[in-house]
Amino acid sequence: MSPLSSNAPHGQSPLRTVQVVGGGNAGSCAHVRSLAAGLVARGVRVTVCAPGEADRAYDFTGVGAAHVHVPRSSDPASVAVLRAVCADADLVHAHGLHASFRAVLALSGRSTPLVVTWHNRARAEGARAHLLRLLERRVAKAATVVFGTSADLVDRARGIGARDARLAGVGLPVARPPAGHDPDDPDRLSPKLRAELGATDRPLLLAVGSLDRCRGYGLLLDAARAWRRLDPAPLLVIAGEGPLRAALQRRIEDEELPVRLLGRRDDVTDLLAAADLALLPSRWESRSVLAQEALHARVPLVATAVGGIPDLVGDAAELVPYGDPEAFADAVMRLLDDPERCRLLKEKGARQAASWPTEDQTVAQVLSVYDELTQPLPLP
């Protein structure tokens, strides 16, 4: 089957694929939905194995895929369900470390090709970190092909035994800004939403992501102590939920920081349209969804120079070292005081975003690998 064909060749059954998703990562779930839509449109049968809440949030069935509820747990019952679903698959594609490990267990003893995509690096400390390294090695060696969404993930897969590791193109749907929004007109930056957030007459800064240690929000609160002396002091809003919420809220109140925790939001596109700057203080990122959405939306970005971020954004963002709150705060304050630099970053961001793989190109790359792994070998 050609990567761009819309139907199986005459006399052949459609390619049958199973996509295995852990369900906890917004970027991987959005990618799987996009991939499923493109594959179905090209005549491929797609079954998505994911927790029920992931299908409710991302509507895999809405793009023509079948959905089977498989919990995130790697207990024998979950693996047995996955093994049954994969019984008639031509190829299995798992996304993320834990989903990939479940797929390895489910395919044990079978010759079904397994493609895995690592969207992020597994992070933990102590004994759990050692366990994750063992899981990574097991998955890397068992997979037929490992896709990494950044060059350092590809290098990591090769270093722990992957027989075939490749850089993945990952094109995500581009969210459209609200109607009438003009990112170059400061008087039209979603005034109603800004008023609701408490940023009518002050700069609005936006960070998005789960409230956990890897996101670097402690560094961001340290930086907020520096810019609160500005007049007017910028307001930082953080959209996301997680285990650090209580600790972060205590710091915000104890130190009287100009920061609001918004919890989970389904209007990130609108929040970006309202924001003056987007902030990404993470300890590590591969292809950050926020970074991609910010550049698409022409919102200047300040980010830590970690993981795949420098390759992703090029010179279209202000990059600072991780763990340096003074450098982060200085970058934010310089941009707030330099409209010309912001205008230049908006232009560079639009050009950089245009260089990223589209959804169609991503599907074509993935389907070409599927074909490579499922086509019968020519007779000698």
Torsion, Cα of 330, 320, 25, 56 (10° steps) = 40
pLDDT band at 5 (very low <50, low <70, confident <90, very high): very low
State how far the alpha carbon of 179 is from the alpha carbons of 188, 191, 273, 350, in Å.
11, 13, 10, 18
How many helices (H) and strands (E) the chain has is answered by 15, 13
pLDDT band at 101 (very low <50, low <70, confident <90, very high): very high
Who contacts 121 (Cβ-Cβ below 8 Å, separation ≥6)?
A: 152, 153, 156, 284, 286, 307
Q: pLDDT tens, 136-163?
A: 999 999 999 999 999 999 999 999 999 9
Q: pLDDT tens, 317-332?
A: 999 999 999 999 999 9
Q: How confident is the prediction for the chain on average, in pLDDT?
A: 90
Least confident range from 2-16, 224-238, 291-305: namely 2-16
Q: CATH assignment of 16-171+357-371, given 3.20.20.140, 3.40.50.10470, 3.40.50.300, 3.40.50.2000?
A: 3.40.50.2000
Residues above pLDDT 90, as percent of the chain: 76
Residues of the chain with CATH 3.40.50.2000: 16-171+357-371, 186-354
Task: Judge whether residue 218 has pLDDT over 60.
Answer: yes
Q: pLDDT tens, 108-127?
A: 999 999 999 998 887 766 77
**Within 10 A of 212 (CB to CB), how many other CB atoms are there?**
16
Can you state the percent helix, strand and coil of the chain, rounding each to 5? 45, 15, 40
122 burial type by CB count under 10 A (0-12 exposed, 13-18 middle, 19+ buried): middle
**Within 10 A of 167 (CB to CB), how many other CB atoms are there?**
16
**Within 10 A of 108 (CB to CB), how many other CB atoms are there?**
10
Architecture of domain 186-354: 3-Layer(aba) Sandwich (3.40)
pTM: 0.84
- What's the rounded Cα separation, in Å, for the pair 235 and 257? 9
Could you tell me which residue, 22 or 148, shows the higher pLDDT?
148
Identify residue 186 by its one-letter amino acid code: P
